């Protein structure tokens, strides 16, 4: 990871005074970064270019809590977010990601003895990971997600898995549960503490039920400058201390807290305490100070990186070199919208067949399949996530496409 400038602590860009932190209650939430009128959903592609260009938009105004390290979008409007089957953020088409998911599933089955158990997944998407866990351990599973696409995606016969097209809440407390987990859902919750407290209450008294949550690691955004991860759907951003504080304050005893996926994700494992009156979060003041230093320098770092890419794209245009963006997910959509006034990238490719033929929100490029690169023949391929560079290079070589690969 690249370092953060400690001298920038006193130059925190404050755009809107103070707000109260919804995680710890401190009146120390200071706005430090703004992005106006970004697509409301990066993971909803559109059937026509016209619809994509007219996609709904919202503002981002990030606020940082100096007490616990939590970061929230202060301009977020929960009432505007309606997750439906058109929402598509699955990464399982990637062999690299699939390998990671399989290793994680094996780890969870072995560590928590998930064999013949009752599992609940909150935010299950299409159910890929739940099916994996149930197959590995002979488990029974229920997945909750309002965007679940329905009967066409139901599992193969032989697995005891159900899907509920609803948000999980206390009214589902009667579902049997030995293990509850959620991957990349908590960052979509504007008030994570009330939500997690409800989860804790729903599984309390289950005699050993444990939980596992995976979220994006905000330090990858702040410190490694993974700036294309700042999207409207993500209204809550977690670092180690804020994630620990959240679970501890909701009556959980944290068993493990670690980075994963080359530092891009945070994983937490915890168990609910029957009596958590004396449950205290660990002293993380030094970690929060590190986050604060990165927050203080982030705006300038962001502007420098965006400016560098504007110059790079302008040079490509001047030299007559065509660029293709590989990845029509959050990062690709954000990159394209941020730099849409620079030399445009008119080729966007994605390996997910559900995205192919659809149009990018905000900028309107049609997403193509990798095989179509044989016709478009770009000179440069911009890879949106460095973890996929090797995989993409192999696919390009198999296609016989000669192009320079750059990670953004």
pTM: 0.91
* Token pair 């006193």 in the structure block, residue: 10
CA neighbor of 255 nearest in space, from 270, 241, 275? 270
CA neighbor of 161 nearest in space, from 188, 194, 124, 197? 124
Per-residue pLDDT for the chain (408 aa), expressed as one digit of tens each?
444 443 333 333 333 445 889 999 998 789 999 999 999 999 999 999 999 999 999 999 999 999 999 999 999 999 999 888 888 888 888 899 999 999 999 999 999 999 999 999 999 998 999 999 999 999 999 999 988 887 544 555 568 899 999 889 888 888 999 999 999 999 999 999 999 999 988 887 666 689 999 999 999 999 999 999 999 999 999 999 999 999 999 999 999 999 999 999 999 999 988 766 556 667 788 999 999 999 999 999 999 999 999 999 999 999 999 999 999 999 999 999 999 988 668 899 999 999 999 999 999 999 999 999 999 999 999 999 999 999 999 999 999 999 999 999
Residue 9: the pLDDT is: 33
Give the pair of three-digit tokens for residue 296: 């203080």
Residue 26 near residue 66, CB atoms below 8 Å: yes
**217-219-222-226 Cα dihedral, nearest 10 degrees:** -50
CB atoms within 10 A of CB 256: 10
Residue 12: the pLDDT is: 35
Taken in order of first residue, the domains within the chain and their CATH numbers are: 95-274 (3.40.50.150), 318-407 (3.40.50.720)
Q: Strand pairing partners for 349?
A: 326, 368
Residue 133: the pLDDT is: 96
CA neighbor of 166 nearest in space, from 142, 133, 131, 196? 142
């Amino acid at each position: 990871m690249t370092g953060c400038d400690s001298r920038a602590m006193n130059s925190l860009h404050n755009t809107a005074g103070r707000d109260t932190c919804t995680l710890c209650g401190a009146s120390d939430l200071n706005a430090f970064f703004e992005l106006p009128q970004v697509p409301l959903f990066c993971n909803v592609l559109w059937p026509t270019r016209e619809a994509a260009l007219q996609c709904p938009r919202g503002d981002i105004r990030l606020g940082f809590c100096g007490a616990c390290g939590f970061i929230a979008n202060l301009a977020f409007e929960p009432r505007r977010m309606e997750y439906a089957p058109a929402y598509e953020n699955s990464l399982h088409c990637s062999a690299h990601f699939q390998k990671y998911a399989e290793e994680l599933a094996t780890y969870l089955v072995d560590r928590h003895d998930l064999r013949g158990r009752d599992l609940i997944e909150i935010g299950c998407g299409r159910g890929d990971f739940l099916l994996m866990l149930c197959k590995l351990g002979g488990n029974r599973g229920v997945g909750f997600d309002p965007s679940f696409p329905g009967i066409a995606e139901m599992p193969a016969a032989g697995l005891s898995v159900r899907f509920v097209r609803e948000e999980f809440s206390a009214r589902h407390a009667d579902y049997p549960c030995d293990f509850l987990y959620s991957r990349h859902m908590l960052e979509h919750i504007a008030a994570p503490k009330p939500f997690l407290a409800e989860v804790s209450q729903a599984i309390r008294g289950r005699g050993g039920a444990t939980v596992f949550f995976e979220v994006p690691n905000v330090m990858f955004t702040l410190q490694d400058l993974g700036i294309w991860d700042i999207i409207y759907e993500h209204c809550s951003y977690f670092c180690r201390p804020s994630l620990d504080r959240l679970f501890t304050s909701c009556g959980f005893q944290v068993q493990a807290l670690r980075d994963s996926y080359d530092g891009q994700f945070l994983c937490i494992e915890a168990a609910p305490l029957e009596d958590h009156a004396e449950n205290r979060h660990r002293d993380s003041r030094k970690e929060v100070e590190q986050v604060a230093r990165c927050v203080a320098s982030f705006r300038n770092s962001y502007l420098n990186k965006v400016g560098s890419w504007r110059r790079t794209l302008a040079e490509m245009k001047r030299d007559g070199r065509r660029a293709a963006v590989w990845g029509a997910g959050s990062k690709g959509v954000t990159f394209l919208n941020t730099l849409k006034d620079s030399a445009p990238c008119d080729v966007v490719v994605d390996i997910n067949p559900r995205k192919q033929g659809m149009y990018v929100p905000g900028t309107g490029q049609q997403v193509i399949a990798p095989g179509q690169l044989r016709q478009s023949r770009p000179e440069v391929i911009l890879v949106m996530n460095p973890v996929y560079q090797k995989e993409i290079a192999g696919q390009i070589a198999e296609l016989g496409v000669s192009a320079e690969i750059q990670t953004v």
